Amino acid sequence: MKIDLKELAVELYDIGAVKYGNFTTKVGLQTPIYIDLRVIISYPDLLRRISESLFNLVDKKEFNHVCGVPYTALPIATVISTESNIPMIIRRKEAKSYGTKKMIEGVFKAGDTAVIVEDIITSGSSVIETVKDLQNEGLKVNTALVIVDREQGGKQNLENAGIVVKNLFTITELVGYLQEAGRLNEESVKVVKDYITSVKAPLKIKDFNNRLIQNFLARAKMTKNAAAAKLFRLMSEKQTTLCLAADFTKSQEIIDLANVAGPHIAVLKIHVDIIDDFDKNFIQQLKSIATKYNFLIMEDRKFGDIGQTVSYQYRNGIYNIAEWADLITVHPVSGKGVLQGIKQGLHGISEDRGVFIVAEMSSEGALTTGNYLTSAVSDSKDSDLTSGFVCQNNIFDDAGLIQLTPGVQLTKSTDNLGQQYNTPQDVVSKGADLVVVGRGITQANDKLSAVLEYKKVLWEAYETRIKQE
């Protein structure tokens, strides 16, 4: 094995998978040695030998599945699976926003055991996140097969989490082999050894479940947005997570529904630009009812233009949305300037205002997936205007933000325009804090009974969620 490992180390260096210089790691650390094992997919024989050597680290093959940490380890796990005839499963980077919306792909059952395959561990966070997702599906994990341990705390972190690490190389061993082969000189090796001795990697784990088990009053203290804090408190006080979508074209229909539903909802959501008989008096009536029954008003405008235009749309025109809407929705497609435009439109307004960023949509074939979804969250989450995100899944970990989920009815269904409906229990288990219900109430013969039923079912689902340990 010693001779084989030395040959592998030299080959990895020669193909550019190991580099000496000045680099930044995934966790943000400066490092004199950088290892990029993605290139081995272009060297099939090397890929096969590394995979075989890694699999031979396990004496007893007491596991049902092989699971590679996305993405670099996936081809390695695939080779191990095909050569050993042990089924492979894949843990996705994020849940799909369509189809089954599964986090773990493959055929398995609760109680099965999986072995994790990873290319490099620095802090071990990627492996721990993968293990947590597998455990959430009832799988058991106790071993991780790793090509390189950077010796910066990752192995200890994993062992603290109950995961035994078996690695082909440590950094010390790797640079030792490279020095023996004349690829690195003594000074370079000393620099690397001094570095790994003095610099440890912080463990950064995305604990999405943490947000889900905290109650609204606790989360009200964590938010940067005053409107979100108000919403958290009123949801707790009124014991309702119901956002009623009053998608009527006549102002009186909205007023009548607000009077009926007001005591039982957290938010009344409207589309002001579809109202045929809009006037200022309608807004005054609606604000009065909102004050009386303690709910917030959301204008579902989905602002999405450049900042300057959005500022005008928000503050000017016949609707003057900034003056009366507690909450609005915004598409982040135009970049961070859209929030700057919203902020500019609030000049001179002292009332609390909040923005929900549309990260995912409930309609079939929506393009709000992948990198768009990830950027929507990362680019918006730190703004003091952001109350939360419109999404279908648990895609953020900040307990001070609110997940607003549309497309909900008591039974799963679709309409003839591509809208997909999920049940209250489904969406709350996937992170929904505030839930939009429209036609399930507005088309009911007895609207008050429908409001009360949705309110009850949604609140029970929320209480069930926060009681989970």
- Assign residue 357 the CATH number of its domain: 3.20.20.70
In this structure, the strands spanning 18-24 and 30-35 are: antiparallel
Largest CA distance in the chain: 84
Percentage of the chain modeled with pLDDT above 90: 73
293 Cα distance to chain centroid: 33
Among 77-81, 316-320, 418-422, which stretch is predicted with the lowest mean pLDDT? 418-422
Neighbouring residues of 365: CB distance < 8 A, sequence distance ≥ 6: 98, 418
The owner of tokens 């029954």 is 293
Average pLDDT score over residue span 6-33: 89
Q: Give the burial class of 406: count Cβ atoms within 10 A of its Cβ; 0-12 exposed, 13-18 middle, 19 or more buried.
A: buried
Alpha-carbon dihedral angle through residues 392, 137, 67, 377, given to the nearest 10 degrees:
20
Residue 417 has a pLDDT of 54
Q: What phi, psi does 123 have (nearest 5°)? A: -95, -20
Residue 129 has a pLDDT of 87
Among 14-28, 65-79, 142-156, 347-361, which stretch is predicted with the lowest mean pLDDT? 14-28
362 labeled binding residue: yes
Average pLDDT score over residue span 204-215: 71
The residue out of 198, 233, 257 marking a domain boundary is 198
285 labeled binding residue: no
pLDDT at 188 over 50: yes
Could you tell me the CATH number of the domain that includes residue 166? Answer: 3.40.50.2020
**400 secondary structure, DSSP code:** T
Coil/strand/helix, residue 43: coil
pLDDT band at 469; cut points 50, 70, 90: very low
Residue 392 has a pLDDT of 87
- The domain in which residue 187 lies consists of 5-198
Residue 156: inside a domain = yes
* Helix pair angle (2-14, 171-180), 10° resolution: 80
The residue out of 198, 231, 263 marking a domain boundary is 198
Q: What phi, psi does 294 have (nearest 5°)? A: 60, 65
**C-alpha span between 87 and 105 (Å, rounded):** 11
Residue 207: inside a domain = no
Residue 93: inside a domain = yes
Q: Do both 188 and 121 map to the same domain?
A: yes
Answer whether 130's CB lies under 8 Å from 91's CB.
yes
In this structure, the strands spanning 413-414 and 402-405 are: unpaired
Residue 288: inside a domain = yes
Residue 144 has a pLDDT of 96
269 labeled binding residue: yes
Q: What phi, psi does 432 have (nearest 5°)? A: -65, 130
Coil/strand/helix, residue 370: helix
Indicate the residue type of 326.
D
Coil/strand/helix, residue 301: strand
**C-alpha span between 338 and 308 (Å, rounded):** 8
Start-to-end Cα distance in the chain: 45
Residue 468 has a pLDDT of 58
Give the closest residue to 386 by CA, choosing from 298, 327, 436.
327
392 labeled binding residue: no
**469 secondary structure, DSSP code:** -
Rg (alpha carbons) of the chain, rounded to whole number? 27
Neighbouring residues of 423: CB distance < 8 A, sequence distance ≥ 6: 408, 409, 410, 411, 412
Answer whether 104's CB lies under 8 Å from 183's CB.
no
pLDDT band at 18; cut points 50, 70, 90: very high
Residue 169: inside a domain = yes
Q: Do both 337 and 440 map to the same domain?
A: yes
Q: Do both 240 and 192 map to the same domain?
A: no
Q: Do both 93 and 223 map to the same domain?
A: no
**C-alpha span between 77 and 62 (Å, rounded):** 16
Q: Do both 34 and 182 map to the same domain?
A: yes
pLDDT at 209 over 90: no
Residue 413 has a pLDDT of 58
Residue 208: inside a domain = no
Query: Rounded to 5 degrees, what angle do the CA atoms 244, 427, 246 make?
Result: 15
Residue 287 has a pLDDT of 97
Count of structural domains within the chain: 2
Residue 205 has a pLDDT of 60
465 labeled binding residue: no
The residue out of 198, 227, 247 marking a domain boundary is 198
The owner of tokens 């958290």 is 232
pLDDT tens, 35-82?
999 999 999 999 999 999 999 999 877 899 999 998 899 999 999 999
Residue 98 has a pLDDT of 46
Among 22-31, 110-119, 149-158, 287-296, which stretch is predicted with the lowest mean pLDDT? 22-31
Residue 431 has a pLDDT of 92
Percentage of the chain modeled with pLDDT above 70: 93
Residue 434 has a pLDDT of 97
Residue 1 has a pLDDT of 53
Residue 414 has a pLDDT of 62
Q: Do both 185 and 250 map to the same domain?
A: no
**C-alpha span between 469 and 209 (Å, rounded):** 10
Coil/strand/helix, residue 20: strand
Token pair recorded at residue 31:
């490092």
pLDDT tens, 90-149?
998 765 444 455 778 999 998 999 999 999 999 998 899 899 889 888 899 999 999 999
Average pLDDT score over residue span 341-347: 96
Q: Do both 123 and 181 map to the same domain?
A: yes
Q: What is the pTM of this model?
A: 0.61
Indicate the residue type of 439.
R
pLDDT band at 200; cut points 50, 70, 90: confident
Residue 94 has a pLDDT of 61
Give the length of the chain.
Answer: 469
The Cα-based distances of 86 to 59, 61, 78, 120, 178 in angstroms read 15, 9, 10, 22, 34
Q: Do both 290 and 245 map to the same domain?
A: yes
Indicate the residue type of 30.
Q
**C-alpha span between 361 and 339 (Å, rounded):** 19
Residue 27 has a pLDDT of 62
Q: Do both 188 and 327 map to the same domain?
A: no
Among 61-65, 219-223, 322-326, 421-425, which stretch is predicted with the lowest mean pLDDT? 421-425
309 Cα distance to chain centroid: 30
194 labeled binding residue: no
Q: Do both 182 and 239 map to the same domain?
A: no
Enzyme catalytic residues: 300, 302, 305
Q: Do both 121 and 239 map to the same domain?
A: no
Q: Do both 248 and 166 map to the same domain?
A: no
